[in-house]
């Protein structure tokens, strides 16, 4: 390998090793020009490029060049300083993303679980402030239905009879409704509804058991229970409120080849914003 296939940089005393092609993602940037000895700010000392800038912030610059997206820790706060560093290196697509701080900051999600028991049936309604979270949760939950005799209606496990999956009710993008338990059908026959929540493979008919599994699923997904209250005492509707700080998905920068550009890459910020 030639000397310039692998590049070593010392940024504020912090050493980075990368490929030349990584630094050349944006040909008009100072990092790309550095490889052609075309920028006096970068001093070549003992085979390493030295630059007197913030080494800790440069780690985010390198991550951006390697992944073409910006993804910051939930406790990150130096947006203006990192934007200033991006501008110094001539990485204006990154500086553009950082100027829109609201897209990068973690946001608070609220989720409410409404639960009620009525005779042999349990009813659930889940409301969420983030539609993508509710959609993902709806994909984890499956309701199965089948007929059972009165002698076996209270069995915690489904019978050997075929169970048919039912679609969940979705009144809006922000909520999902389902139920479990048994209801009178005809004669000594009952209509039974079992609930399964992935990745757990069990099919549960008892509402309290389903509620416990739902809580366990939410807690494992980063939510925490913040309050419990009774909404309607007559119908015994309980409301459980959860919250979590959700880190936004990394915002990408797409490199496009334009006619007549001779391979020069142009960058543009993705307009897709998830989770709204």
Closest by CA to 111, choosing from 178, 199, 174, is 174
Query: What pLDDT is stored for residue 273 in this prediction?
Result: 36
Query: What pLDDT is stored for residue 191 in this prediction?
Result: 83
Query: What pLDDT is stored for residue 184 in this prediction?
Result: 61
Domain with CATH 3.30.1410.10 in the chain: 108-150+159-246
- CATH T-level assignment (fold) for domain 108-150+159-246: Gtp Cyclohydrolase I Feedback Regulatory Protein; Chain: K (3.30.1410)
Q: What is the pLDDT of residues 155-211, one digit of tens each?
A: 555 555 678 998 899 999 999 999 999 876 655 667 889 999 999 989 999 999 999
Query: What pLDDT is stored for residue 123 in this prediction?
Result: 95
Domain with CATH 3.30.710.10 in the chain: 6-105
pLDDT class for 100, splitting at 50, 70, 90?
Answer: confident
Q: What is the pTM of this model?
A: 0.59
pLDDT class for 255, splitting at 50, 70, 90?
Answer: low
Higher pLDDT, 148 or 263: 148
Query: What pLDDT is stored for residue 272 in this prediction?
Result: 32
Average pLDDT over residues 247-253: 62
CA distances from 193 to 31, 203, 212, 227, 248 (A): 62, 9, 17, 28, 36
Higher pLDDT, 255 or 86: 86
Closest by CA to 65, choosing from 98, 26, 100, 103, is 26
Query: What pLDDT is stored for residue 252 in this prediction?
Result: 63
Given the candidates 1.20.1420.30, 3.30.710.10, 3.40.50.1820, 3.40.50.1370, the CATH classification of the domain at 6-105 is 3.30.710.10
- Reading the block at residue 75, the tokens are 């406790």
Query: What pLDDT is stored for residue 43 in this prediction?
Result: 86
Closest by CA to 221, choosing from 134, 147, 162, is 134
Higher pLDDT, 219 or 261: 219
């Amino acid at each position: 390998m030639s000397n310039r296939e692998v590049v070593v940089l010392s940024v504020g005393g912090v050493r980075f090793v990368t490929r030349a092609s990584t630094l050349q993602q944006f040909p008009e940037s100072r990092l790309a020009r550095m490889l052609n000895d075309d920028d006096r700010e970068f001093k070549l000392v003992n085979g390493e490029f030295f630059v007197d800038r913030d080494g800790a912030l440069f780690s985010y610059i390198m991550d951006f060049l390697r992944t073409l997206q910006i993804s910051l820790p939930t406790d990150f706060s130096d947006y203006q300083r990192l934007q200033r560093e991006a501008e110094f290196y001539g990485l204006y697509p990154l500086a553009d993303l950082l100027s829109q701080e609201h897209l990068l900051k973690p946001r608070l999600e609220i989720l409410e679980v409404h639960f009620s028991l009525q005779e042999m049936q349990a009813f659930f309604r889940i409301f969420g402030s983030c539609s993508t979270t509710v959609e993902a949760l709806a994909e984890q939950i499956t309701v199965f239905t089948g007929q059972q005799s009165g002698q076996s209606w209270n069995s915690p496990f489904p019978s050997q009879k075929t169970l048919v999956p039912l679609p969940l009710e979705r009144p809006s993008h922000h909520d999902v409704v389902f139920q479990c338990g048994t209801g009178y059908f005809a004669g000594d026959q009952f209509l039974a509804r079992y609930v399964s929540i992935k990745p757990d493979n069990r099919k549960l008919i008892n509402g309290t058991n389903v509620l416990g599994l739902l809580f366990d699923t939410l807690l494992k997904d980063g939510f925490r229970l913040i309050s419990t209250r009774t909404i309607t005492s007559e119908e015994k509707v309980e409301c459980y409120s959860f919250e979590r700080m959700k880190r936004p998905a990394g915002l990408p920068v797409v490199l496009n080849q334009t006619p007549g550009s001779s391979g020069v890459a142009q960058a543009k910020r993705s307009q897709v914003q998830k989770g709204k």
